[in-house]
Amino acid sequence: MITGQDTEISRALRGLEHHDASVRLRAAMAVGSAPGPQCVGKLVERCAVEPEFFVRDMLTWALTRHPATLTVPALVREVRSGPAQAKSQALHTLSKIGDRSAWPVITRELLTDPDDEVARSAWRAAVVLVPDDDAAGEKVALAAVLATQLGRGGRETQLSLGRALVDLGDVVVPALRTAATASDPDVRAHALATQQVLRDPDTGFGFAIEEAKRVVALGGAPVVDDEVC
């Protein structure tokens, strides 16, 4: 038997494909306000092709309103086999859901993906999903892989990586110490800036990076805080 709610959900799901972004936004909000198992596949599918950031953000919100038992497997499949936008948005959504059962999908290949948006989403998701109990050394291994990306990309990419490293905490210290002596000046500057923010979280990352670049360019050495680095 088709109910009035079923009709509303069907209408909202069709609205996700409307040519008007404001209609798609309202449709995503409607789906999130009345979650149902029949909605998950369509939401994930739309994330892969939606061109507007604010609509994608609402699609992610709508997915977080559904049970993780339904959303996480679908998102993991997107990460493993989808195109770049699908991977990036799925990783972003997994970071919002925060279900650590998705941790195994975070691979070195994702963390070093040549597409900056995919890599940035992977960094954020990794920090959220990595197991708290580090008996297996997962955080140390993650810090080591992230450190290989220091110096990469433009300002926003570097800020994203720096924040991810800082959010991991003191486990990143050895990797940063090594990177701070790298031959590549961009890597050194990025590592020094991240060390500074790790020592003093109130330091703005943008300021720290610019200051670190200045120090490296002048051939200066960083002031090392023994308690942290």
One domain, residues 179 and 161: yes
What the block records as the tokens of 74 is 């679908």
CA distance 198 to 181: 17
Whether 134 is in a domain gets the answer no
Whether 23 is in a domain gets the answer yes
Q: What is the pLDDT of residues 157-176, one digit of tens each?
A: 999 999 999 999 999 999 99
Q: What is the pLDDT of residues 170-197, one digit of tens each?
A: 999 999 999 999 999 999 999 999 999 9
Give the single-character DSSP code of 100: G
Greatest mean pLDDT range, 3-17, 71-85, 133-147: 71-85
| Cβ atoms within 10 Å of 15's Cβ, excluding its own | 18
List the CATH number of the domain containing 37: 1.25.10.10
One domain, residues 2 and 49: yes
Long-range contacts of 5-8 (CB under 8 A, 24+ apart): 5/34, 8/34
The per-residue pLDDT of the chain, averaged, comes to: 90
Q: Is the pLDDT of residue 133 over 70?
A: yes
Residue pair 31/9 in contact by the 8 Å Cβ criterion = yes
Confidence of residue 135 (pLDDT cuts 50, 70, 90): low
Residue pair 228/198 in contact by the 8 Å Cβ criterion = yes
List the CATH number of the domain containing 103: 1.25.10
Domain that holds residue 90: 72-129
Mapped to the 3 state alphabet, what secondary structure does 53-71 carry?
HHHHHHHHHHHHCCCHHHH
One domain, residues 55 and 87: no
Residue pair 63/93 in contact by the 8 Å Cβ criterion = yes
Q: Is the pLDDT of residue 43 over 80?
A: yes
CA distance 148 to 191: 10
Long-range contacts of 208-216 (CB under 8 A, 24+ apart): 208/162, 209/155, 209/158, 209/159, 209/162, 212/188, 213/185, 213/189, 215/189, 216/185, 216/188, 216/189, 216/192
Helix count and strand count (H, E) for the chain:
13, 0
One domain, residues 224 and 161: yes
As to burial, measured by CB atoms within 10 angstroms (0-12 exposed, 13-18 middle, 19+ buried), residue 200 is: exposed
Number of domains composing the chain:
3
Q: Which of 49-53, 89-93, 215-219, 225-229 has the lowest mean pLDDT?
A: 225-229
Confidence of residue 228 (pLDDT cuts 50, 70, 90): very low
What's the whole-number mean pLDDT along residues 82-96?
A: 97
Confidence of residue 224 (pLDDT cuts 50, 70, 90): very low
